[in-house]
Amino acid sequence: MTPHPPAHFARGLPRGDPRQEPSSSPVVSALIHSRGEPVISWTDLSNGDDATREDDSAVGSPPWVAAVLDYSGLASNPSLTLLFSKHISTMQPRIVILKDGTDTSQGKGQLISNINACEAVVEILKTTLGPRGMDKLIHDQGRVTISNDGATIIKLLDIVHPAAKTLCDIARSQDDEVGDGTTSVCLIAGEILKMIKPFVEDGMHPQTIIKGLRDSLAQLLAKLKELSIPIDRNDAGRTREMLIRCAGTALNSKLIAGQKEFFAPMVVDAILNLDSNLDLNMVGIKKVAGGSVTESALIQGVAFKKTFAYAGFEQQPKSFVNPRILALNVELELKSERQNAEIRITDPGQYQSIVDAEWNIIYDKLAKIVASGAKVVLSKLPIGDLATQYFADRDVFCAGRVPTADLERICNATGATLQTSLSDLSDKILGASEKFEEKQVGGERFNFLTGCKGANSSTILLRGGAEQFIAESERSLHDALMIVKRALTHSAVVGGGGAIEMELSRHLRTYAKTISSKHQMIVGAVARALEVVPRQLAVNAGFDATDLLNHLRAAHSKGEAWAGVDIENDGICDTVKAFVWEPALVKQNALAAATEAACMILSVDETIKHQEGDKNFNDDRLAPGPGRR
């Protein structure tokens, strides 16, 4: 007897439908379960016998198949039943690769969506460009940051869109490699994408666009090298002047632009004081709240904040002339016993000998330090109250828990060698300076080491009112230090104020006319995109950008290669003669990074986003079958 179809196979039929009841007919075609596996069972009346067919290839067939076979009347026609069953037997299960809930988007719409996301980021940044750029106030978990630095803003925005994060990467790389131009690189990348979006919408293949972009980049870099103005490093006076001009241009768009004449020489002196490696870690910036920003000072040597001190510190001398300096990575402090420490002794007198041994060890260390002739003892590790009083009695200054970066700069400036043991304290491992003193700066006490022989380290004491102002001033000085460093190593400059971008744009327009393929449109789009820098400079300064760009195009067509935006007089000027100089490396890196970012975004045609949840989520949508349970 052929089994009746289970009642639950009729689920989904209209309420009140008589077909909801299981059929009592001997003609049955149903999806039954044998040992947990789906099986097609049907009856052929052509020979009057019950013939049941089990077909494993129908694994994964939904329950409604049985309902169709049973209740639609197909079972009354053996040939139709056989045909339908054979059709079911050839059905293949749907292949499932991604987890349930995974979001996928692809094609032209995905490309345009990524471009729009990048444009939204650029829309936030573009008002910060140039000397008249506005600042952004970002409030994050109680911390307030005021900045117009592109890399800082992007980092604090916490962008989550995967394509827009590409702009974060190029801003960070520009900041690490060059130090300035972080807003420009994002602006150029966003404008390139904006200009080529119509071609994407019209169906031009992304690879065609990418090839055109890379062709444009090759032309830009070659023309930039041709236009760069080399600086003769053998002329010390001209080199210093060039570096001061570059530092001043970098500070033009910063919060301390009004004091660029004060800070630019300070930045150049700090860089020129370094050795040939130009390691910026050897330039310390110490922030001291209070006072005017013009009370900031450059210390030719090392200055570090007074560290935590024990009793007896007040009795130590605070000033030395030609002192010897000892740098240690040794702890000079009595240590308390570990919890649950156990010492087994047979005589109570042995305990005193153990205590005496510990005291003898530290006294031996202190005696070796004093015998070395050092007058200033600095250590990365704590110097306890016993050692502090011991040194005070012998007119020796000591400071423990000195920050690692400060101690490295002290060693570099004074010639001291960091010691991890006290077994061999000779004169050759001691450092020297002309003067050591402790002074009050604002509300803080600072220790100064000046007059170091062959000093390759310096410290900038940065003063100011509000904490946010000092923090932004520090970021501004960091950018200026990076610019001066790159200008010194590459010795080539270009005119700023949008002049170099306009000249490169003119060159690309001329080059595009020699191309007969689709690339002509892409090269022309890049040429238009480069005009975003002078246009945004004009907009941020409150000028008529359209009128100003027309004047710039006319000037460059007449051969005035360095015509740029004159922020002071609402017009155009020769930026090289106006000393608006930038290292050629800044533009080179910005153009390369922006173009590569645009190419990367265009090469993505599908985005797959997994659902958030348990990482061990098991997707069981594939129906179990033979060998897969």
Which among 277, 253, 318, 306 has a CA at the least distance from the CA of 537? 253
Instruction: Give me 297's structure tokens.
Output: 């000072």
Residue 577: φ, ψ to 5°: -70, -25
List, in sequence order, the alpha helices (H) in 532-605. Answer: 532-541, 545-557, 584-602
Q: Is 287 helix (H, G, I), strand (E, B) or coil?
A: strand
Q: Is 457 helix (H, G, I), strand (E, B) or coil?
A: coil
Q: How far is 581 from 145, CA to CA, in rounded Å?
A: 29
Sequence-distant contacts of 106-109: CB under 8 A, at least 24 apart: 106/605, 106/606, 106/607, 107/605, 107/606, 108/200, 108/201, 108/203
DSSP state of 2: P
Q: Which residues pair with 321 in a beta bridge?
A: 435
479 catalytically annotated: yes
> Which residues have C-beta within 8 Å of that of residue 276, sequence separation ≥ 6?
none
Q: How far is 236 from 239, CA to CA, in rounded Å?
A: 5
Q: How far is 257 from 524, CA to CA, in rounded Å?
A: 36
Residue in 70, 149, 180, 215 annotated catalytic: 149
- Contact 499/561 with Cβ under 8 angstroms? yes
Residue 325: φ, ψ to 5°: -120, 130
- What helix, strand, coil percent values describe the chain, rounded to 5? 45, 15, 35
Q: Pairing between strand 37-41 and 30-34?
A: antiparallel
Instruction: Give me 581's structure tokens.
Output: 């100089």
Residue in 145, 166, 182, 459 annotated catalytic: 182
149 catalytically annotated: yes
Q: What torsion, rounded to 10 degrees, do the Cα atoms 218, 222, 228, 231 define?
A: 110
Residue in 479, 566, 575, 595 annotated catalytic: 479
Q: How far is 304 from 306, CA to CA, in rounded Å?
A: 6
Which among 565, 537, 540, 542 has a CA at the least distance from the CA of 553? 565
182 catalytically annotated: yes
183 catalytically annotated: yes
* C-alpha dist (Å) from residue 126 to 27, 120, 194, 505, 537: 76, 10, 14, 19, 9
> Which residues have C-beta within 8 Å of that of residue 105, sequence separation ≥ 6?
113, 606, 607
Residue in 43, 183, 459, 575 annotated catalytic: 183
- Contact 225/143 with Cβ under 8 angstroms? no
Q: Which residues pair with 574 in a beta bridge?
A: 563
Q: What torsion, rounded to 10 degrees, do the Cα atoms 273, 275, 280, 286 define?
A: -40
Order of strands across the sheet with 297-299? 283-289, 458-464, 297-299
Instruction: Give me 396's structure tokens.
Output: 């020796």
Which residues are the active-site residues? 149, 182-183, 479
